[in-house]
Amino acid sequence: MKQFDVPVIYRSPLISAIKKKRKQEDKMKKPASPSGRDFTPSLLDLGPVQFYLARHFGFCYGVENAIEIAFRTIEENPGKRIFLLSEMIHNPQVNEDLQQRGVQFLQDTYGKEIISLDEITGDDIVLIPAFGTTLSMEEKLRAKGIAVEKYNTTCPFVEKVWNRSEQIAQKGYSIVIHGKPKHEETRATFSHSSSNAPSVIVNDMVETIELGKYITGEKNAAEFYTEFKGRYSDGFDITKDLQRFGVVNQTTQLASDTQAISDYLRQLMIKHFGLNDSTIGERFADTRDTLCYATNDNQTAVSGMLETEADLAIVVGGYNSSNTTHLVELCEKTLPTFFVTDEEKILSADEILHFDYHHKQELHTINFLPKNEPVKILITSGASCPDALVEGIIRKVAGFYGVATKVDVLAAQIM
């Protein structure tokens, strides 16, 4: 896979060494799972505190690609005004670094205008974030003379979803999108899919079940337009447009959730239309190839990590990061889980600030570290989180046990 030129401030010698060693060891291991892949965590044993690092975490291909383009653009265009359509990725440190280098945001993550497009000229540079953007926004930027394609950092795996949507649309399928309706990526995917076929967004299985009732006629068609207001394409006809469709997703959703939604709708179509496995293609498109490899690997790695007995889990990433939130969701089913942005949130050996994504608020917890030794901590991070932040947390917690220097010793041994 391509190697990207990412600023060294985001790298971690310790984490890089662990990941490199793990790759080398994996080549020699027998298959540890039915799929032939090993998702057991890596142990960093510091004596009184032990860290178990997920097999996969941190920057993914799309994020590194976006960061490389953004920083290269800044370096190659001194004196030019550079704008980001919205946050580059959902990581506060990266976005702050870009702003400190003069990059300005045109919108917030919900599409609310911060700087008017009227202020933009053809001499300016506008970066498209990794989530992509809507077709209407691309048209507005082109109308101002902005070279949209030249500074487009849209993740290739997001574009893969758009391309797959277009392919099945050409075969007469409508599109059901599994995604958070207000998320930038979902808005972009909806824009692209609805330009080719009737499209509708579902947030979760609960909404999927309700959508299914319109397909079967269990619910009155007129209610659909109220229940799914703002989530269906212009001219969408609930009595006709879900007779034949495929499911695609916001790439940062739980892969298992998307698969469950797809499986549910597939079985519903089989039962409702009297189909079987050989004829289901008449009504339901196979879109399993739209699931993002990085999202899937990170989530599977967390599931593998949770098989290890531990006291708590720490998940690092931006509070508005969808893929990170899903890692938290997986961890908290098993262990006390603390969702933090960086080491500064760990105030002391007794106190921590962490995010409750259910209620969208930061909590202050006392005595988050148990008194027993060794303390066993599972740790992972989102796809937009720099490895340097994970190392920072490891070093800070190690310091509470007087073993911070062991981190350097272990790093040297691993290298």
Domain extent for 116: 62-151
CATH number, domain with residue 200 = 3.40.1010.20
Mean pLDDT by 10 residues, the chain (415 residues): 84 90 67 63 95 95 94 96 93 94 94 94 96 96 94 94 96 97 95 97 97 97 97 97 96 88 97 96 88 85 96 97 94 97 97 97 97 96 95 97 89 73
Query: What DSSP line would sit under 172-205, residue for residue?
Result: T-EEEEES-TTSHHHHHHHHHHHTTS-EEEE-SH
73 and 36 belong to one structural domain: no
* End residue of a domain, out of 242, 275, 291: 291
β-sheet with 375-381: strand ranges across: 42-45, 49-53, 375-381, 312-316, 337-340
Dist CA 90 CA 109 (whole Å): 9
Judge whether 399 and 74 are in contact, CB under 8 Å: no
Of 151, 162, 130, nearest to 60 by C-alpha is: 130
162 and 276 belong to one structural domain: yes
Dist CA 162 CA 99 (whole Å): 29
**130-153 CB burial, b ≥16 within 10 A, e <16:** bbbbbeebbeebeeeebebeebbb
Judge whether 128 and 64 are in contact, CB under 8 Å: no
Each residue of 259-272: pLDDT tens digit? 999 999 999 999 99
Under 8 Å CB-to-CB from 235, ≥6 apart: which residues?
198
287 and 160 belong to one structural domain: yes
Judge whether 66 and 33 are in contact, CB under 8 Å: no
Long-range contacts of 219-222 (CB under 8 A, 24+ apart): none
326 and 264 belong to one structural domain: no
Rounded to two decimals, the pTM is 0.89
Which residues belong to the active site?
185
- Write out the E strands in 104-198: 104-105, 125-127, 174-178
80, amino acid identity: K
- Number of domains making up the chain: 3
Q: Is residue 3 part of a domain?
A: no
Q: Is residue 20 part of a domain?
A: yes
25 and 98 belong to one structural domain: no
Bond prior to 92 in cis (omega within 30° of 0):
no
Under 8 Å CB-to-CB from 62, ≥6 apart: which residues?
130, 155, 156, 157, 158, 294, 383
137 and 238 belong to one structural domain: no
Dist CA 166 CA 163 (whole Å): 5
Under 8 Å CB-to-CB from 250, ≥6 apart: which residues?
177, 178, 179, 180, 183, 185, 186, 189, 322
* DSSP assigned state of 107: B
Each residue of 192-246: pLDDT tens digit? 999 999 999 999 999 999 999 999 999 999 999 999 999 999 999 999 999 999 9
Q: Is residue 1 part of a domain?
A: no
pLDDT of 287: 86
Helix (H, G, I), strand (E, B) or coil at 325: helix
pLDDT of 413: 78
162 and 196 belong to one structural domain: yes
336 and 210 belong to one structural domain: no
CATH number, domain with residue 100 = 3.40.50.11270
Cα-atom radius of gyration of the chain, to the nearest Å?
23
Judge whether 180 and 274 are in contact, CB under 8 Å: no
Of 396, 388, 394, nearest to 410 by C-alpha is: 394
Report the half-sphere exposure of 330 (CA within 13 A, side-chain side). Answer: 30
- Write out the E strands in 235-374: 245-249, 284-285, 312-316, 337-340, 351-356, 361-366
Question: Element (H or E) spanning 399, and its range?
Answer: helix 387-400
Dist CA 368 CA 370 (whole Å): 6
Return the structure tokens found at 51. 């860290």
Q: Is residue 262 part of a domain?
A: yes
274 and 377 belong to one structural domain: no
- Write out the E strands in 240-367: 245-249, 284-285, 312-316, 337-340, 351-356, 361-366
The β-bridge partners of 338 are: 314
Dist CA 402 CA 328 (whole Å): 28
pLDDT of 28: 47
185 and 223 belong to one structural domain: yes
308 and 390 belong to one structural domain: yes
Return the structure tokens found at 352. 């921590």
Where do we find the tokens 């989180």? Answer: 385
49 and 128 belong to one structural domain: no
* DSSP assigned state of 232: B
